[in-house]
Amino acid sequence: MSTSDKRRGGSHAIRSSTSSRSSSIIAPPPRAQLTGSPSASTSAGQETEGAHEPGGSSSSNPVNKDSGAAAALAAREKESMLLKEKDERIAALERELAVMEGEFTRELDRLSQNESETASFWQRKHSALHQQFLRADTELRLLRSEVDVREAERQELRDGWDVLRRELRARDEEILALKGHLNGMKQWVSASTRTDQQTSDEEIGESMAKLGNSLQNWVIMHFRKVKLGK
């Protein structure tokens, strides 16, 4: 049962109790007219006086009764008007209360809807920001791993560069040594050719054999060095 129904039921109970009280209040005027009203006492005195006086008339008694009935009727009408006004005021208050309850319900529904929309908006916003944070964190981790890979590659390149520099230095030293051997061979050839012009063929053959053996030994020696260096 709603609040308006409860209040309407209460108003009906008030009306019934008021009507019962009004019926109990309205009932006494005839008795007051007959027993306790001044007009009734004066009319009773006049009746006794008229009865005792010779030739007296009893015409004032019906007039007093009519006036008492009119007063009672007026009191009933006034009471009914008051009850009607009270009922109208109660009905107006109930209508106003129903309107206020409707406005309150609509306002409450609107506020609830706004609150749910606000909660949904901030929930979506939080979810989007969380997803963006996760993507940024993943990208950052990928970049860090890529930086680590690049650092490892750079260190590897540095190590390779150092190895190449050492090999280049060794090649330079080997080239210098070969140049020294070549100069020595040139000097030996030039010295051997500057000997006596009447050298026999046997001496030339021996010299060429020695030169071939020297070249062969030099090639074998440097081939072994190169192979051991690798």
Element (H, E) at 54: none
> How far apart (Å, rounded) are the C-alpha atoms in residues 146 and 140?
10
Dihedral angle, C-alpha 103, 106, 110, 116, nearest 10 °? 140
- Both tokens of 138, joined, read 């993943």
Q: Rounded to two decimals, what is the model's pTM? A: 0.34
pLDDT tens, 122-167? 999 999 999 999 999 999 999 999 999 999 999 999 999 999 999 9
Residue 135 has what pLDDT?
A: 94
pLDDT digits (tens, 9 = 90+) for 200-225: 667 777 777 888 788 888 888 777 77
Listed in sequence order, the residues at least 6 apart from 68 whose beta carbon sits closer than 8 Å to its beta carbon are: 29, 30, 33, 37, 39, 40
**Is the four-CA dihedral 178, 184, 186, 192 of positive or negative sign?**
negative
pLDDT at 26: 44
Terminal-residue alpha carbon distance, the chain: 103
Give me 24's structure tokens.
């109990």
Dihedral angle computed from the Cα positions of residues 5, 6, 8 and 11, in that order, rounded to the nearest 10 degrees: 170
Per-residue pLDDT reduced to its tens digit, 172-196: 888 888 888 888 877 877 776 665 5
Residue 18 has pLDDT above 50, yes or no: no
Query: Do residues 47 and 61 touch, judged by C-beta distance below 8 A?
Result: yes
